[in-house]
Structure 1
Amino acid sequence: MKHQQNVDEIVALGLDFIGNIFFAKSSRNLNSIIHTSATKVGVFVKESLVIIKERITEHNLKVIQLHGGESNEFCKSVKNLGVQVWKVFSVGDDFESSKLKEFPDADLFLFDTKSKAYGGAGRKFDWSLLKAIDKKTPKKYFLAGGIHPNDAKAIKALQLKNIIGLDLNSQFESSPGLKNVEELKTFLVELRS
């Protein structure tokens, strides 16, 4: 999210987190300071610890989401900066749950659709894979990747014990970085009912 007025409208819907993308190759890359009462999540791809530290200070980030194949040691270094670390995993049919145990220093996980780019490119992975992942994951997690405004019922039907949040991204946007407030509001009403 990169437009202040849009952030204000979204936060008014009762969302807990606002994602700020810090990846120059993304059309959602943040170039200004956003003010919000929601917890700010900085999203990084293969970024240096020095730059992450600068962005934490400049943008008052409380959570860092790592998308670039970072190691547990890197997660630990970021966590030592005084923030939570959310480690992203790309899920496809060949996903190996055993690798989750290699990240004890991540505070939680985010499962996104496997793609050639970073992020799920607006596509879902096979959510039936979550049943096995949910049983094996040592951490709570967020679901991401192609979640659509019409998916509230399907998400509620998953009934997974470790899922604690959703990363609502491109399918809820009017344009990159600009959320459609009405679609989001409708989705949240259905999800919370």
Structure 2
Amino acid sequence: MKVKVCGMREPDNIAAVNGLGIDYLGLIFHPASPRFAGQPALGEWIGANRDLFQKTELVGVFVNAEIDYVLNTVHDYQLDWVQLHGNESAGYCQELKLLWSVNTLRKASICKAFSITPDFDFSDTHAYASSCPLFVFDTGGKQQAGGTGQQWDWSKLAEYNSPVPFLLSGGIGPNDAAAIRRIDHPQLRGVDVNSKFETQPGIKDVELLRTFVGRLHG
């Protein structure tokens, strides 16, 4: 069960969370977010300490961003993944993948987030399967920048039958490890956590995460 901790912003906190053996660290590059990570000093710190992340993949979260901004941010912050958390089309994802296939820019894998509502049709994900090797299923409804902080009805996962693996997201908190472990879905690869583990926006409670990760891994 992989763990992504999103909404990271401060170097010391990033280093401490990374020390828990986290699989993905998420940096939000949406200026409207209180967890906005687009500070040049952070990019410089990552570049100077890239050896800290040999076993951790850095994920940049974008919301309806211009493609040039995504490309430049992947380069400047040495990202391994881009997570598209807006209304990006399948064509947008295909264009990103094509651009990385024909130039020498730093390349990243593409993860598409979907907002799950009671009437969401999982067939809407099919058009993204050729360009996105990973999905994130987050809570739909009234969106804040980066999510709602609320859970959705996980029983709806029974409707998902695509071969693309996914991370479960949306309002996951410290007491949810047991319920997550009970989810029986062949494409569940892990969880994406954020606000329920914070002391303030962008700052994660390391001990709370340590306990949660231990319970999740059993």
Query: Does the alignment pair 1:167 with 2:192?
Result: yes
CA distance in 2, matches of 1:120, 1:46: 14
Moved over 4 A (4+): none
Number of the residue aligned with 2:5? none
Identity %: 36
Number of the residue aligned with 2:139? 113
Indicate the structure whose relative CO is greater, using CA pairs within 8 Å and at least 6 residues apart.
2
- Secondary structure, in 3 states, of the residue corresponding to 1:54? helix
Query: Does the alignment pair 1:22 with 2:29?
Result: yes
CA distance in 1, matches of 2:32, 2:146: 12
Number of the residue aligned with 1:128? 155
Query: Does the alignment pair 1:99 with 2:124?
Result: yes
Contact 1:119 1:145 in 2 (8 A): no
- Secondary structure, in 3 states, of the residue corresponding to 1:70? coil
Matched residue type, 1:173: E
Range with bigger deviation, 14-23 or 80-89 = 80-89
Number of the residue aligned with 2:17? 10
Query: Does the alignment pair 1:144 with 2:156?
Result: no
Matched residue type, 2:15: D
- Secondary structure, in 3 states, of the residue corresponding to 1:186? helix
Structure 1 position 120, deviation (Å): 3.1
CA distance in 2, matches of 1:50, 1:120: 24
Long gaps (5+) in structure 2 = 1-7, 47-51, 101-106
Alignment counterpart, residue 86 of structure 2, candidates 68, 72, 93 = 68
Matched residue type, 2:173: H
Range with bigger deviation, 87-96 or 98-107 = 98-107
Contact 1:64 1:83 in 2 (8 A): yes
Cα root mean square deviation, aligned? 1.2
Matched residue type, 1:67: H
Structure 1 segment 33-52 matched on structure 2, within 5 A: 33=43, 34-35=45-46, 36-37=52-53, 38-52=56-70
Long gaps (5+) in structure 1 = none
- Secondary structure, in 3 states, of the residue corresponding to 1:20? strand
Number of the residue aligned with 1:79? 97
Contact 2:177 2:216 in 1 (8 A): yes
- Secondary structure, in 3 states, of the residue corresponding to 2:83? strand
Query: Does the alignment pair 1:53 with 2:80?
Result: no
Q: How many residues align?
A: 191
Matched residue type, 1:98: S
CA distance in 2, matches of 1:79, 1:22: 19
Structure 1 position 71, deviation (Å): 1.1
Q: After superposition, give the CA deviation of every residue in 1:35-93 in whole Å (9 maximum; x if it has no partner).
A: 24021100000001111111011000110000111111111222232210000100010
